[in-house]
Structure 1
Amino acid sequence: MRQILLGAAMAALLTGTGIVPDLVAHPAMAQSAGNPFQPVAYVNDSAVTRYEVDQRVRFMQILRAPNADRESAEKALIDDRLRNFAAKQAGITVDDEQIQVGIEEFASRGGLGVDEFVRLLGQNGVDRQTVEDFIVSGILWREYVRARVSPLVRVGDAEVEQQMKNIIETPEITHVAMSELIIPAPEGQEAQARELADRIVQQSTSEAQFAAFARQYSATPSGENGGRLPMMPLANLPPSLRPIVQNMQPGQVSQPLEVQGAIVLFFLRETRGTLRPGATEQVLDYLKLRVASAEEAARIAALATTCEDLYVQARNLPAEQLQHQTLTQGQIPSGEAVRLAVLDDNESTIINYGGAVELLMLCKRSPALLANEPEAPVATSPGEEPTASGDALPQREDVRNQIYNRKVSEAAESQLAELRANAVIRYP
């Protein structure tokens, strides 16, 4: 059975970012003015209080999550109410054992035990109930998605094939050109630094805008040059930073990365890469029909718009007149290869040799790397983890799982948006 990686969605919900939380102590923050239990919103008659918003902000700041502000916290709590409402309607519940396991798992991501985790939260004004509510919402939504959303998701073979082709045709990044912006975040000023970083991310829609912010705010010498760093090998970056850069597109700003005493932003200017070995080689699947005249070939070509149609048109002809070929480009006779080179799938061309005439129809053009199923990685010695070559294609089942989980995530987000649209959300 294919593994359902819904745990990743759960982790993203729990951290707000999907990254491992960096649990550190922060100075206690002042509670917002006014009655702490005053409702700030009603979701289907369930109140979200000022106290809950304060607690969520504190919690997000301890986790060093982006957008740890009151507006984001209020929106997240409203979404939690919607998720809980949907789970309740579906008859889904959470028991004490699940909550305890959730807290243990969450604490372990920061390298802490449960008692140490809870103590750290208490030192920063976050009570255990806040964490439990947070985790319960995540578990309820995970189980709801598992029960109501994931069974409706299907991944077809054609989707896997297309994704495999995309992987083959996408250059593997070897070099990157980035700009950096380092915002000082001394003790007691972390919140201001986060707010500035979020504003820069939102307003930097071009390199020029990012460069202007770097000149104004960056604490490194590169700030004078708009934060520009020279083109560098991807392998020169720290291992923790490489996947972040690989998931960015040129012209995009990274989410704020918190390090000791600073917040770091990167702007990706350019990437350079190379195709994996054999990526440009193709296998052509085509039909070759020999007929008596160019007129007959033209008549059949007008009737046959697919390879299946061509089989139908040739059904009354001697079997040796129709050949089905699946060959690499180097194996195809040059005269045929030149004609096939300009065809798309299910297009045809006629070759008149002055006597016999051939009708060629291309059925499918595929990367040669897909002709042979990628070998599964193997361990080189007992007890060693299996490894694959850096140029190896991923396994089809792995690709299928990736597509499946992406579609589940998208469907879950769509379900949440529908819940939001149908809910009665009021603000006092």
Structure 2
Amino acid sequence: MPFRTAVIASALLALAVAAVPVAQAQQTVGLRAPGQGLFADLPELTVLGSLEPNVRKATAIVNGDIITDTDVDQRLALVLAASEGRVSEQERDILRVQVLRNLIDEKLQIQAASENEVSVPEAEVEQAYARVAANFRQSPEEFARFLRQAGSSPASIKQQIRAELAWSRLLRKRIEPFVNVGEEEVAAIIRKLEESKGKDEYRVGEIFLSATPDQLPRVLADAARMVQAIRSGASFVAYARQFSEASTAAVGGDLGWVRAEQLSPQLAEVIVKMPRGTVSDPVVVPGGVAIVALIDQRQVLAANPADAILSMKQITVALPEGTTEAKARQIAEQIQARTRTMGGCGRAEAVAAELGGTVVANDSIRLGDLPGPLQDIVARLPVGGATPAFGSQRDGLRVLVLCGRDDPPANAGMPSFDAIYAQITDERVNSAARRYLRDLRRDAVVDYR
């Protein structure tokens, strides 16, 4: 049988948009990369009748601005791509309603920005779109073809970028100048951090869905379907960006590093029991329902081993086309036997030449940026040690050789005064932003068709 992919790796596809007040944030959207066969298994189709993609039916009119069926379909396609097809027809209908709500919010944000004479130059939208394409290692034109294949379009992503940029600028104009943070507040937080040194803290992702008491059963059911999809392989980040009503939605739900006592009692009880890399069941919290993901865990003000900077060399040996799995395992054993006794990084090029492979060196790899399984392996390697061989038919077999390691300083976890000041400012701006958006929703005239 042909050798199938055995890659110990994952891809984070980032949508880099300055969508958060005060600080720029990289935002991620969980699309599948080109070549993964999103529609590759479809049979030939014979189309009977006419299809006119330019006919657009109004789904909602928001203060006079139209949202069409096509707008909803193309945004929904991004979520379905993130779910890799593991979405039932019933859930698809629910997701469609949620996507429509998000598109209505985008219209309200763009309208509010326009009323306050806040504009976003088209050149900035194009630059942000180009960064998205670059994260896929594609030109904007290639990325446009990929989006259309997935059932979406460049216009859909650009509209989302435009709304995020406009809303961010509006908040900086209308809200941020009136947010005050005292030096004594920052000093108090620094004292608390010092008192908490050595305690556990957690990097948390969140999805928050608001709900009144009468809406709670429906929202809990919606949240449960999201959890099931995420546990089945859908992107937590994509769901957070599209559906979360928390201020962290713009950065894929990333709440950052928090201690359990900083969370609500309901979430604190859940997060301390979760294994790293898992997603919680829906949790009822004040105002609605939350889903949390435990991204990472460390100790307050302690050096984080994941921040170690590594110097490494990668040996890659290509596999002939049609290599069987048995043959690939045999080659992997030969590579591992040779690299285990090669005597460190200085011999990497010579050993690669013997094996018919190539070498790439990198002197600034952060341990935490390696895929999870590789992190655990590399963290235990001595300098000069090599990982087991891993790879795929397409990418070949690879071995990482550890040439050096710079561990982080013991006080690396202490945030600066400015960082804490910015965090408090962000929290207050985002809290005011949620109230502002609620007011816009309350006063809007929305005509559903």
TM-score interval w.r.t. the shorter chain?
0.3 to 0.5
Which protein has the larger Cα radius of gyration, Structure 1 or Structure 2?
1
Q: Which has the higher contact order (CA 8 A, sep 6+)?
A: 2
- TM-score normalised by the chain length of structure 1: 0.47
Q: What is the TM-score of this pair, normalised by structure 2?
A: 0.45
